[in-house]
Structures are given as structure tokens and as C-alpha cells.
Amino acid sequence: MFEVEYPWSASAPNADEAFGPNPSALRHLWAERRTSTMAIDQSGVWRFRDLLPIVADDQIVTLREGNTPLYELPKCAAKLGLSFLLAKHQGMNPTGSFKDTGMTSALSVAASRGFEWVAVASTGNTSAAMAGYAARAGLKSMVLIPEGKIAWGKLSQSMDYGSVTVQLKTDFDGCVRVLNELVQRAPVYMLNSVNPYRLEGQKTPAFEILEQLDWRIPDHLIVPGGNLANCSALGKGFAELKHLGFIHRVPKISVIQAHGANPLFRAMQKDAGATLEPVVAETRASAIRIGNPASWRKAVRILAETGGWVEEVSEAEIALAKAEIGAEGIGCEPASAVTYAGLKKLVADGRVAPEERVVLLLTGHTLKDPEYTINYHRGELLTESELATAPAEERAAMKSLEKKPVVLEANTDEVLRTLEALQRGA
């Protein structure tokens, strides 16, 4: 797979001779741009455009993406005995997921090169991001999705933004195959994560995290594992900043996959990621229901370079983790919750120490998949066999976090009696 290289990149010819940017000056400039009213300065991607000079300023397509919050998770931290746990919530982007950061950069390239049509294969978030940015740029767009295997909250966005939506009778990997053939036969620009310009935008949350921590480096960043572009992009971002002298080290980056969509986990267990065998992916965390990830080689390299790990988590572990994050007042899609579920395992076996500074990457908003949340709180999400795999204390925790709607007559006395009963049980 291709990767964008700059004159100052560590891998570039004569890199040592290249005149790199001044870290101190750029930190000041990036902070100053936040007070600007210009759209490209208000973007949390293009605010850092000095480190991604891929299009001219007047060709940038932006919805003011990025600048997403870094939330503290005190309850989750306390449960694990950690003193420092934060969540970088990429679900607070314009279309509700981290995909916006990569889409603004890749679609700007498509527009600058004169393409009229853009397309993606998607399980949901990518389609929403591409459709939104294509509409903003005045381009036509097409989404190829696997029939019946998508969160409708995500697909509704691509419809709303005017994209041509095509359901194919296959899985995500089958959609990618058709798209690869399509772009060979028609003037259509592919915007899946194999597009190297996507990763340029997706590396910028690394810059934001450091800014938000006053340039203190976290010890560990934990990301969900689907197509594995996040691991690759963020690893590239941190490595570039280290090479340029902004920071003196990079954090560990670990990847968490769902048990039913775990090709990277299996590859690392088998031969440390030398080879990867695709799997038939099946998980309710639709954003990571990918059996043949495009960026796996890059992800294996980042894992090796940063000293990170790969873990897998069950459907029950994902459901509980999502509810526990929600109990902090922070909603995320199921795929995001694998990060906290995986962190539990890393803490339990000593791979994450209590004093480490840990950041979870939450990739999508809770409203991306409302059916999942509703079914959880109704007690209808997991099957008996899935519940049986969870330890008794986890089943009890899941039950305690369920918040089923209470149906009453329209009578104030009944409401008061219910309130008093709830207070007694608190």
C-alpha cells in the first residue's frame, strides 16, 4: 500500500538534508489558528496543514472537522485502579465519526484533481463521511454496502447527503472487490482507507491529543481494530512528530478487535503478523465487522515500532464496556467500546500499569447505532450463549446498568411512589 511522503519524512531520500519545520513556531501557529474565523483554521485537520501539504488552501473541502474533546473517565479509571484514563471522542466530528478527518483530506485531493464521481465500500461510517464531504464539494458519490449488515443510523446519513446507495449481496470484503474493479473501468475516485491521503487526515488526532495534554506524551493509546487505518495513521502522526523534534518518544499503540472479527489478533498469535488469513467477520460492532483489513501490514509495523499489543473481546465484554462508558455521560458506538473492554484485559495481566497515562480512541457517536443501545437496556441484546460466556460478576454488572423504560399511568402519585421506590433501592 502507498504512503504519503514529504521532503522532511524520515523515509524520504536525503531526509537528513531537508529543512524541516520549526516545532516551537508551529505549536504557536497552530494554537493561534484556533482563534481564526477561517474555515480551514477552524478545522482540526487543516489547522495542521503545514504537516500535510497535499492541496492548495483554496482547494480544501472542510466541514470544520476535528478539534474533538478529550474526556476524563474517572469511574472507568477507578474500576481498573488507574490514575489517568482519557477518551478522545472522534464521534464528535460533523458526521459523527473519525472518518471525517480522513475524508476531508482525501476528498479535497479528489476535487482538486477534477473528479466528478467518488465512491466507497462501507459498513456505515465511511459512507456517511464520504457522502457529506462530496455534497459539500459538489461531487457525485456512490456507496457500496453489504446488504442487511449495516447500522441504519449510518446509512440514513449517506441517503440524506444525496449519495447513490447500492446494497450488494455480499459482505464488506465483497464490496471492496467490486469497488476495486469499478474504479479500473470508470473515472471514479476511490475513498476507502487504502487511499493514502485518508491516512494524512486521520493522523491529526495524534497532534490534537498532544496539544490537549499540553504536549505531555501519553504512555498508551488504544484503538479499535477494523480496517486498521487508525492504528496506521496515528502511528504515522506520532512518528512524524518525533522525527521532527516535537516529542522525544511515541506512545504504545494497541489494537482491540471483536472476537468475531479478529484477523489481526489471529495473525499476531500465529506468526507475529507475518501473514494474515481473512475471516468471515461477525460482530454487532458493525464499524469493525471486517474480515480482511486493508491496512494490516502497516498496523503490524506500528505495533512493532511502538511496543503495542492486539487483543480480542467478546460481544458480552463489548456490551458491558459500552454501558460503563455511557454511565460516565459519554455515548459511543459499540466499536468504540472495544477499547475499554480490551484495556481491562491489558490491566488484568499487567501489560498496562496503574500509573500509566492511557487514552482510548472512541471512533463513533452513540447515535450511529441506537438499536444496539436500546436492545441492551431492554435486556434483548445478547443471546443466552453469549451471556453464558461472561463471568457472574460481569452479568451482574450488565444487569445493574440496564435502564428499561418504566411505563405508568398518567398519575402523579404513581410517579412519586416509583421515585420513592427507586430512591430506597439506590
Rounded distance between C-alpha atoms, residue 202 and residue 93, angstroms: 12
What is the pLDDT at residue 146? 83
Pick the CATH number of 70-96+199-370 from 3.90.950.10, 3.40.1350.10, 3.40.50.2300, 3.40.50.1100: 3.40.50.1100
Across 277-300, average pLDDT? 92
In this structure, of 163-167, 253-257, 301-305, 322-326, the range with the lowest mean pLDDT score is: 163-167
Rounded distance between C-alpha atoms, residue 289 and residue 260, angstroms: 8
Model confidence pLDDT, tens digit, residues 307-361: 999 999 999 999 999 999 999 999 999 999 999 999 999 999 999 999 999 999 9
Helices and strands, counts by H and E, the chain? 18, 10
What is the pLDDT at residue 13? 73
What is the pLDDT at residue 114? 96
Q: What percent of the chain clears pLDDT 90, i.e. is strictly above it? A: 79
What is the pLDDT at residue 18? 60
Would you tell me how many other CB atoms lie within 10 Å of the CB of residue 36? Answer: 11
In this structure, of 94-103, 259-268, 412-421, the range with the lowest mean pLDDT score is: 412-421
For the cut 80, the answer to whether the pLDDT of residue 20 exceeds it is no
Rounded distance between C-alpha atoms, residue 219 and residue 247, angstroms: 13
Is 209 in contact with 92 (CB distance < 8 Å)? no
pTM over 0.85: yes
Rounded distance between C-alpha atoms, residue 111 and residue 118, angstroms: 9
What is the pLDDT at residue 122? 84
**β strands within 307-371, DSSP E:** 310-313, 358-362
What is the pLDDT at residue 426? 55
What is the pLDDT at residue 223? 98
